[in-house]
Amino acid sequence: MALRKTKATSVDIAHRAGVSQATVSRVLRGSPLVNAETRKRVLDAVQELNYKVDRRASSLRTQRAGTLALLLFEDPTEDESNINPFFLSMLGSITRACARHHHDLLVSFQQLSDDWHADYEDSMKADGLILLGYGDYVDYRPKLERLVEQGTHFVRWGAVLPDQPGVSIGCDNFAGGRLVGEHLIGLGRRSIAFLGDASSHYPEFHARYRGCELVQREAGIAEEPALQVDALSSEEEGYEAAKALLGRGVLFDAVFAASDLIAIGAIRALLEHGLRVPEDVAVVGFDDIAMSRFCNPPLTTVYQDTAHAGELLVETLLKLVNGHAAQSQMLPAKLVVRRSSGA
């Protein structure tokens, strides 16, 4: 081992301050039943020896880790470095929310196929779990059920559905879809293609689709199944989906992509095909990742307040950890208009 002065313990502090170790602990825990002067002596010693309480020991004793775990999972096919920027931004906000609530954050990337249910909480490293990631909900759901069964404390980010196991926080995807539909219809577009899996396997995408669909129906536009092409959230899949759409020979004057990454890939395919965006085809995405401001043309999209989402996720989980009830909740969606929709 590298040389280092061995760490001070509460016993060292007690010795130096001339009190018992128990008193040191009381001072550090902020107990009111300590004489002011005693407290000062202890605090001085803490300062001098640069003492920090050993969180493992205190956690072992109190049975509270003071730590939350974030499980970020992705489809196994995804490239290593290719994490969805949206989740990365969530990660930033969750980290900060944890700090505000004086908790540490353990981060782990997982594959949906992994046996992640409860590992962290079971080994007592974390008091609760935050689940974040895209993945097939049909595979996902039974895992959530097991988590509930085991009494694991967790919150997930994602679609907020009725009869869902556990507590979820998510964007109001349906309202977001409506916003997009209204925007596009308002701009005179009549044939809106949807790029993204619109089945119950991906309920977030599905809700976005339905929201937009409803607006079209209200406007008297008949549903056209050929205008929907499956895609998961990546530039590549967006590109391929747009190609496939083009190959079908159906006419369309707008594309609603289920995510910004899909939209960016779709724009590339459209331009390659000699179409102009937004003149020939208006394009709208979802997420408002940083890139959507800088791509060409800048992308009209739906903004989700990640800062608020992170705070809400942490707050909600902490409620659960402390034995209180907590509700699933939806965050409002907001349309951000940029050049790609031709407004």
For binding to DNA (CB under 7 A), which residues are involved? 7, 9-11, 19-23, 25-26, 28-29, 32-39, 51, 53-54, 57-58, 60-63
CA–CA separation, 144 vs 131, rounded Å?
10
Mutual angle of helices 21-29 and 36-49, in 10-degree steps? 90
Beta 228-229 vs 192-195: how paired, if at all?
A: parallel
274 touches a second copy by CB under 8 A = no
Residue 251 interface partner, choices DNA, a second copy, none, CB cut-off 5-8 Å depending on type: none
Nearer to a second copy, 11 or 138 (CB): 11
Report yes or no: 180 and 211 within 8 Å, Cβ to Cβ. yes
Residue 28 interface partner, choices a second copy, DNA, none, CB cut-off 5-8 Å depending on type: DNA
Mutual angle of helices 173-186 and 203-218, in 10-degree steps? 40
Residue 4 interface partner, choices DNA, a second copy, none, CB cut-off 5-8 Å depending on type: a second copy
Report yes or no: 190 and 252 within 8 Å, Cβ to Cβ. no
Residue 34 interface partner, choices a second copy, DNA, none, CB cut-off 5-8 Å depending on type: DNA
Tell me whether residue 6 is exposed, middle or buried, using C-beta atoms within 10 angstroms of its C-beta: 0 to 12, 13 to 18, 19 or more: exposed
Judged by CB under 8 A, the stretch of 59-67, 159-167, 178-186, 224-232 that binds a second copy is: 59-67
Residue 22 interface partner, choices a second copy, DNA, none, CB cut-off 5-8 Å depending on type: DNA
Phi, psi (rounded to 5 degrees) for 330: -110, 140
Residue 306 interface partner, choices a second copy, DNA, none, CB cut-off 5-8 Å depending on type: a second copy
For residue 230, what is the enclosing H or E element?
A: none
279 touches a second copy by CB under 8 A = no
Residue 89 interface partner, choices DNA, a second copy, none, CB cut-off 5-8 Å depending on type: a second copy
CA–CA separation, 28 vs 22, rounded Å?
10
222 touches a second copy by CB under 8 A = no
Q: 3-class DSSP state for residue 243? A: helix
Nearer to DNA, 81 or 123 (CB): 123
Q: Give the closest residue to 158 by CA, choosing from 197, 202, 198, 119.
A: 202
CA atoms within 13 A on the CB side of 15: 7
Report yes or no: 115 and 143 within 8 Å, Cβ to Cβ. no
Strand partners, 282: 254
Judged by CB under 8 A, the stretch of 82-90, 180-188, 197-205, 247-255 that binds a second copy is: 82-90
Give the x/- contact pattern for a second copy in 240-269, rule: CB under 8 A. ------------------------x---x-
Binding site for a second copy (CB under 8 A): 1-5, 7, 50, 52-57, 59-60, 65, 67, 72, 80-83, 85, 88-89, 91-93, 95-96, 99, 104-109, 119, 122-125, 150-153, 235, 264, 268, 290-291, 294-296, 306-307, 320, 322-323
